[in-house]
Structure 1
Amino acid sequence: MNIDDVIELFKMGKATAKSHMRNLIEMAAADGGLGTEEQRLLKYAAQRNNISLQELQEMQRNLSDVRFQVPGSDREKFNQLYDLVHMMSVDKNIHVEEQRLCEIFAIKFGFRKEIVREMIDQIRENIEKWIGPEETMRAVMAKMKVFD
């Protein structure tokens, strides 16, 4: 984690971090179950967002207790979408429900509906090539107008 990530976490705040974790849990469960890779990625994301394992487990039991929040900055929106796409594709088996949910989140974050699918595909391709969120964001932003 670099200094920009640390600063972004402080800006994001606990409520937004919990909302992000809720979204990731929903994505992980969208295909009907939580596999080992999905659980591992959830734990990693929780750690990055200063969410304890106990808090993560509580959220998994009571998702309705955590309210959805749109991330504050364009960078946060992209990073959260990147994580959601990563969760969708971590098991190498993308279900229709996962794709649909990822598109819904992208639209809720304010990304243009017309390019959401293409943007998600580009993010997924970059994840498969081990290209991180910062470089992926630069590439996607340069290629397409992503926000309304």
Structure 2
Amino acid sequence: MAKIDGHLDPTEMNYIVSIGKRYGMKAADVRNLVSNSANVEPQLPANDSERFDQIYDLVEMMLADGIVDENEMDFCINMAARLGFKKTIVGVLVRKISMGVKDGLSRDNIKQEAQSFLNY
């Protein structure tokens, strides 16, 4: 996702490293994984909460460099659909997360608001 706009901003890389650390990875391992991302088979989330968290992380990464590229937005929307969210609401979901992050709301608050219209 971070590479979709043609460059990997240092802010985006720092965000990716912080996600990796949250899941117990070392910074060097995360950087190596990003460098070799074309050779990695993505794992689908095991439950609805993890699906939301994955989309949330993608949207936060999209916002990390302060520039929202249309390709990044499209990627987030497509990923939400591929993760199993209803196609009729994926655009709303991504925009709701984006606005919540920009407004400084917590992940839990955004997740709670999203649950009211997701019914996932």
- TM class by smaller structure: over 0.9
Q: Deviations over 1:56-90 (max 9, x none)?
A: 12212211332112101100000111010000112
TM-score, normalization by structure 1: 0.76
Q: 2:59 aligns to what? A: 85
Q: Could you tell me whether the CA contact under 8 Å between 2:17 and 2:31 is conserved in 1?
A: no
Quick check: 1:97 aligned with 2:74? no
CA displacement at 1:113 relative to structure 2: 0.8
Distance 1:71 1:101 in 2: 17
Unaligned 5+ runs, structure 2: none
Give 1 or 2: higher helix fraction. Answer: 1
Quick check: 1:74 aligned with 2:48? yes
The Cα RMSD (Å) is 1.3
Which of 41, 44, 52 lines up with 2:18 in the alignment?
A: 44
Distance 1:145 1:49 in 2: 26
TM-score, normalization by structure 2: 0.92
Following TM superposition, the consecutive aligned residue runs of length 4 or more in structure 1 with deviations greater than 4 angstroms are none
Residue aligned with 2:8, SS:
coil
**What is the 5 A alignment of 1:1-148?**
27-142=1-116, 144-145=117-118, 147=120
Identity rate, percent: 26
Unaligned 5+ runs, structure 1: 1-26
Distance 1:63 1:86 in 2: 19
Distance 1:146 1:133 in 2: 18
Q: Could you tell me whether the CA contact under 8 Å between 1:31 and 1:98 is conserved in 2?
A: yes
